[in-house]
Amino acid sequence: MLNARTSPSLRAAAALALFALMTTILSPAADTAVLTWTKLTPARRLPPRASFASAYDPISKKVVVFGGYNSETILGDTWTFDGTTWAKVRTPIQPSPRLAASMAYDAKIRKLVLFGGFVGFSRLNDTWLFDGATSTWTKANPLKVPPAATGPMLFTDPVDGHVIMFGGYRGPFYSRDTYRWTGVNWRRLKPANSPYPRAAAVVMEDPVRHNVVLFGGISDNWVMQNTWTWDGTDWTMQTPSTQPDPLYNTRGAFDPALNQAFVFGGGSAAVDQSDTWTWNGKNWKKLSTAASPPAREQLGAVWDPDTQQFLMFGGTVFNTDTIYGDTWQFTAQ
C-alpha cells in the first residue's frame, strides 16, 4: 500500500489551500449555535483518495479535485462536486497522475492553476490550467519555471488576483521562495521577509484585511507551529496567544455562517487530528463541536458559496489502510 509517510516527499504531500476569510469574530448567532459536522450522502461519492489537489471553481460553480492516491495506485483523474453529487470529468488532455500537487483559482485569467506534485521518485514542475467554462485542462508553457516541488502552497493573491505559490519540498531541501503566476509565466518575488522553509502548510485568504494567513507545515523532519500573513507584497509573522498544535497536510477555509476561517484535522507528530480551529485575524480558537469526522490528514476542504456549504472530503489516517471517500458538511444549527 502507498503510505504518505514512507518518504520525505510523501510526508510533504498536500498543500492546500485556500479560501476566503470575511470577518474577525464569531457572530452572536454563531456563539449560541450548535456547531456540528454532518456526513453527507451524495448521489455519487468521491472515490477514496488522499493527497490530492482541490479548489472551488467560481466559473463552473463546482469543487474540483485532481489526482492523489488510493491504496493501490497514484491517480490522474478529475472530479467535480456541485453540492449534490460527485461527477468524473472526462477530458481529452489532463495532467499526468500525481500526488502532493496544489491548485488555486486565478481571478485574472479565470482558471484554476495546478503546479507540481510527484510520482514515483520524480518531483514535477509542470503547470496546468483548468477552465471551468469548458471543463478542460491545458498545459501551460511558461518560459520561467520554478524548481519541481511537492506540497507547495498555492493561493489567490488578495491584491492582484493572480495565483501565488510559496515553499514546497524541492529535495533535498524545503523551500521558502515566493512566486507569482502572471498568466503566462512564473515570476519569483523578493519579499523583505519570508516564512521559514516548509511544505504542506495550510493557507487561507482574508479579503477583509486583504491578506492570506499561513500556518504549520513540514520542514526538515520537524513540524511548524507559527502563523504568517501575506499582504500582496511581504510576509509578516503573527504572534497569537493561542495556536493549534503543529500541523501539516491539512486544509482550511472560511464559513460565512460563522464569520470565521477554520482548519480541520491534519497530522501532528505522527498523530492525526480531528479538531476544528478558527482564526479571527489575530488569534486561534479551538471549537467544541457536537459531532466530528474521524481524524485524518491529506484531505480537501472548501467553502461552496453557491450551495452555502463548508465541505470537507477525502484524506487518510497515518500508518493504516484507511483512505476516505466521504464528504462532510460543517454547520451551525
pLDDT tier, 151 (very low <50, low <70, confident <90, very high otherwise): very high
Q: Which domain holds residue 198?
A: 8-332
3 domain residue, yes or no: no
- Asked whether the beta carbons of 262 and 252 are under 8 A apart, the reply is yes
pLDDT reading at 268 higher than 70: yes
pLDDT reading at 18 higher than 50: no
Looking at residue 28, the DSSP 8-state letter turns out to be H
Looking at residue 29, the DSSP 8-state letter turns out to be H
Report the first-to-last Cα separation within the chain, whole angstroms.
40
The whole-model pTM stands at 0.89
Please identify which residue in the block is written with the cell numbers 497569537. 240
173 domain residue, yes or no: yes
268 domain residue, yes or no: yes
Considering its fold, how many domains does the chain have in total?
A: 1
- Percent of the chain predicted with pLDDT > 70: 90
77 domain residue, yes or no: yes
108 domain residue, yes or no: yes
103 domain residue, yes or no: yes
What's the confidence (pLDDT) of residue 82?
95
Who wins on pLDDT, 269 or 76? 76
What's the confidence (pLDDT) of residue 31?
52
The stretch 240-266 carries a mean pLDDT of 88
Q: How far is CA 151 from CA 35, 147, 216, in A?
A: 31, 13, 12
What's the confidence (pLDDT) of residue 333?
65
Q: Which amino acid is at 190?
A: K
What's the confidence (pLDDT) of residue 34?
82
The stretch 100-120 carries a mean pLDDT of 97
Please identify which residue in the block is written with the cell numbers 516541488. 149
Identify the weakest region by mean pLDDT among 64-78, 232-246, 255-269: 255-269
94 domain residue, yes or no: yes
- Asked whether the beta carbons of 66 and 101 are under 8 A apart, the reply is yes
Q: What is the CATH number of the domain that holds 227?
A: 2.120.10.80
Who wins on pLDDT, 85 or 27? 85
pLDDT reading at 4 higher than 70: no
Please identify which residue in the block is written with the cell numbers 499561513. 214
What's the confidence (pLDDT) of residue 21?
26
Identify the weakest region by mean pLDDT among 30-39, 58-67, 237-246, 292-301: 30-39
The stretch 254-258 carries a mean pLDDT of 73
44 domain residue, yes or no: yes
Average pLDDT, the chain: 89
pLDDT digits (tens, 9 = 90+) for 161-195: 999 999 999 988 999 999 999 999 999 999 999 99
pLDDT reading at 210 higher than 70: yes
pLDDT reading at 154 higher than 60: yes
pLDDT reading at 20 higher than 50: no
pLDDT reading at 40 higher than 90: yes
| Residue 38 CB burial class (10 angstroms; 0-12, 13-18, ≥19) | middle
